[in-house]
Amino acid sequence: MSLAPTLVWEVDEENQLSPFLIEANEDRRRVTWAPQPGSQEAFLECPVFEVLYEGTRGPGKTDALLMDFAQHVGQGWGAEWKGILFRRTYPELEDVIQKSLKWFPLLFPKARFTSSPNPEWTFPDGEKLYFRNIKNVDGYWDYHGHAYPWIAWEELTTWPDDKCYLMMMSVCRSTTPGMPRKYRSTTNPFGRGHNWVRSRFHLPIERGKVVGRVIRETDEDGGTNERVAIHGYLEENRVLLHADPGYKSRLRQSATSESMERAWLHGDWDIIAGGMFDDIWDKGVHFITPFPIPDTWIIDRAFDWGSSRPFSVGWYAQSDGCDVPGFGPTRRGDVFRIAEWYGWTGNVDEGCRMTASQVAEGIREREKRIFGERKIRPGPADSQIWATDQDESVAQIMAKFGVYWVRASKGPGTRELGWQRIRDMLRVAKQGSREEPGFFVFDCCEQFFRTVPSLSRDSRKIDDVDTESEDHVGDEVRYRLFTRPSRMGVKPFQGR
- Give residue-wise pLDDT tens across range 68-84: 999 999 999 999 999 99
Instruction: Using pLDDT thresholds of 50, 70 and 90, give the confidence band for residue 357.
Output: very high
- pLDDT reading at 5 higher than 70: yes
Contacts of 49 (CB under 8 A, 6+ apart): 181, 182, 183, 225, 226, 227
- pLDDT reading at 242 higher than 80: yes
Instruction: Using pLDDT thresholds of 50, 70 and 90, give the confidence band for residue 31.
Output: confident
Question: 120-139, pLDDT tens digit by residue?
Answer: 999 999 999 999 999 988 89
DSSP track, 217-246: EE-TTS-EEEEEEEEE-GGG-HHHHHH-TT
CA-closest candidate to residue 126, choices 142, 140, 112, 107: 112
> For residue 486, which phi and psi values (nearest 5 degrees)?
-60, -25
Instruction: Using pLDDT thresholds of 50, 70 and 90, give the confidence band for residue 494.
Output: very low
Mean pLDDT of 385-393: 85
> Which pLDDT value is given to residue 453?
87
Instruction: Using pLDDT thresholds of 50, 70 and 90, give the confidence band for residue 361.
Output: very high
Instruction: Using pLDDT thresholds of 50, 70 and 90, give the confidence band for residue 359.
Output: very high
Q: Do the beta carbons of residue 381 and residue 311 sit within 8 Å?
A: no
How many whole angstroms separate alpha carbon 287 and alpha carbon 280?
13
Characterize 53-90 residue by residue with b for buried, 16 or more Cβ atoms within 10 angstroms of its Cβ, and e for exposed: bbbbbbbbbbbbbbbbbbebbeeebeeebbbbbbbbee
- pLDDT reading at 337 higher than 70: yes
Q: Give the CA count within 13 Å in the CB-facing half-sphere of 424.
A: 17
Mean pLDDT of 340-364: 95
> Which pLDDT value is given to residue 491?
47
Amino acid, single-letter form, for residue 88: R
CA-closest candidate to residue 36, choices 53, 18, 21: 18
How many whole angstroms separate alpha carbon 198 and alpha carbon 316?
29
Q: Do the beta carbons of residue 231 and residue 210 sit within 8 Å?
A: yes
- pLDDT reading at 492 higher than 50: no
Mean pLDDT of 93-101: 97
> Which pLDDT value is given to residue 409?
85
% of the chain with per-residue pLDDT over 70: 95
Instruction: Using pLDDT thresholds of 50, 70 and 90, give the confidence band for residue 272.
Output: low
> Which pLDDT value is given to residue 42?
95
Mean pLDDT of 430-446: 92
How many whole angstroms separate alpha carbon 403 and alpha carbon 364?
7
Of 28-32, 177-181, 281-285, where does mean pLDDT reach its minimum?
A: 28-32
- pLDDT reading at 484 higher than 70: no
Q: Do the beta carbons of residue 300 and residue 487 sit within 8 Å?
A: no
CA-closest candidate to residue 468, choices 20, 135, 189: 135
Q: Do the beta carbons of residue 182 and residue 149 sit within 8 Å?
A: yes
How many whole angstroms separate alpha carbon 496 and alpha carbon 485?
17
> Which pLDDT value is given to residue 496?
31
How many whole angstroms separate alpha carbon 238 and alpha carbon 472?
44
- pTM exceeds cut of 0.95: no
Instruction: Using pLDDT thresholds of 50, 70 and 90, give the confidence band for residue 163.
Output: confident
> Which pLDDT value is given to residue 3?
62
Characterize 272-301 residue by residue with b for buried, 16 or more Cβ atoms within 10 angstroms of its Cβ, and e for exposed: bbbbbbbebbeeeebbbeeeebeeebbbbb
User: End-to-end distance of the chain based on CA atoms, in angstroms?
Assistant: 80
- pLDDT reading at 2 higher than 70: no
Residue with the larger pLDDT of the pair 256 and 268: 268
- pLDDT reading at 493 higher than 60: no
Mean pLDDT of 396-424: 93
Of 35-39, 68-72, 296-300, 491-495, where does mean pLDDT reach its minimum?
A: 491-495
Domains of the chain, earliest start first: 1-31 (no CATH), 34-266 (3.40.50.300), 283-488 (3.30.420.280)
Residue with the larger pLDDT of the pair 191 and 353: 353
> Which pLDDT value is given to residue 33?
92
Instruction: Using pLDDT thresholds of 50, 70 and 90, give the confidence band for residue 435.
Output: confident
> For residue 269, which phi and psi values (nearest 5 degrees)?
-90, 0
- pLDDT reading at 1 higher than 50: no
**Longest pairwise C-alpha distance within the chain:** 89
> Which pLDDT value is given to residue 80?
97
- pLDDT reading at 172 higher than 80: yes
Mean pLDDT of 106-122: 96
- Burial category of 366 from C-beta neighbours within 10 Å (exposed 0-12, middle 13-18, buried 19 and up): middle
Average pLDDT, the chain: 90
> Which pLDDT value is given to residue 386?
94
